[in-house]
A = this chain, B = another copy of it.
């Protein structure tokens, strides 16, 4: 069903997933739409960002961000419209990036909001992707940790995803040889033909390592890691001396409930770090780079204006579909940045 004027639908975490999340971990609730007090504004969610890191917050293991609380609205970045304002800096109709979470309406005192103005209003949802959190992750991870030089080889996992697609395009702008890894022939073709990657390999290949070696004849200088698992295992032997590995995610492991048995590959990784003098660094964009957002936004807006970047969204209508869309995203079913269109931008119910 669609957004209503007088009812706030919200999705709360019903229970913590063990392994792959299921519908039972999510619960829909309805409330009255709250009324803004003095100094507050009422925000109406238009676009909701679904991102793999949310799986981590559904667990209560120690992590880089505090876990979601069971029974509470699931947190998330959103693009919203100001419905009512009792705040001097905002007026009804303003577009903002906010943290409404998985719900139709939220109150805000203005703190942490980012007002959308100018060209970004042509694609407001891009403020959650190309010009928002995932684009920022791609930009800083690649340029600050990966530090690619023209002529170097950059390998990008999840190459058509919200982060990987931008990493690869920026690496191309920097003059690098860019090889993507993605799930399925259609995504690979898209990475090569639309995103401009030099090549893109399907991670389903049994001989991924061999194929990768053929496409990276000079080895790999930068591996942008968001996946882990077998993709990492294929990449590691090809890393060059002084290679860099920015780590922004490990989606292959998010639903794991225990460590795999068999061979312990830890000494292999440690040995590669030593012998190849690798620089491996994890980062969380919002915590490590908030002070450089303006630099990112300015540079990326310029590239967008020059039409040097392509950005694909996988837009799913209706909040009702958020849980299934989220579950599918962890399996790689999405194609591009996952956005739930919670409502159109017309005020009130449609």
Rounded to whole angstroms, the CA-CA distance of A265 and B63 in the bound complex is: 18
Task: For the complex, count residues of A whose C-beta is within 8 A of B.
Answer: 42
The answer to whether B282 touches A281, judged by C-beta atoms less than 8 angstroms apart, is: no
**Residues A264 and B267 in contact, CB atoms below 8 Å apart:** no
Q: In the bound complex, what is the Cα–Cα distance between A15 and B282 (angstroms)?
A: 41
Chain B residues positioned under 8 Å from A229 (CB to CB): 267
Q: Does B263 lie within 8 Å of A265, measured CB to CB?
A: no
Does A62 sit within 8 A of B, measured CB to CB? yes
- Tell me whether A90 is interfacial, beta carbon within 8 Å: no
| Residues on B with beta carbons closer than 8 Å to the beta carbon of A277 | 64, 281-284, 287-288
Q: Are B260 and A261 in contact (CB under 8 A)?
A: no
Q: Does A253 contact B (CB under 8 A)?
A: yes
Instruction: Kindly report which residue of chain B lies nearest to residue A145, judged by CB atoms.
Output: B279
A246–chain B nearest beta-carbon distance, Å: 10
Least distance between A118 CB and chain B CB atoms (Å):
33
Bound Cα distance A280, B266 (Å): 14
Partner of A275, one of B64, B256, B261, B281: B64
Question: Which residues on B sit within 8 Å (CB–CB) of A279?
Answer: 279-281
Task: List B contacts of A263 (CB < 8 A).
Answer: 259-261, 264
Q: With A56-B275, A253-B267 as given contacts, are A241 and B64 in contact (CB-CB < 8 Å)?
A: yes
Question: How far apart are A180's CB and chain B's nearest CB, in angstroms?
Answer: 20
Which residue of B247, B259, B287 is within 8 Å of A274 (Cβ)? B247
Contact flag A64-B266 (CB < 8 Å), given A279-B281, A280-B280: no
For A283, what are the chain B residues with a Cβ–Cβ distance below 8 Å?
A: 277
Contact with B along A241-281 (1 / 0, CB 8 A): 10000011110010010011111111111110111111111
Closest 5 CB pairs of A and B: A265-B266, A273-B282, A274-B282, A277-B282, A280-B280
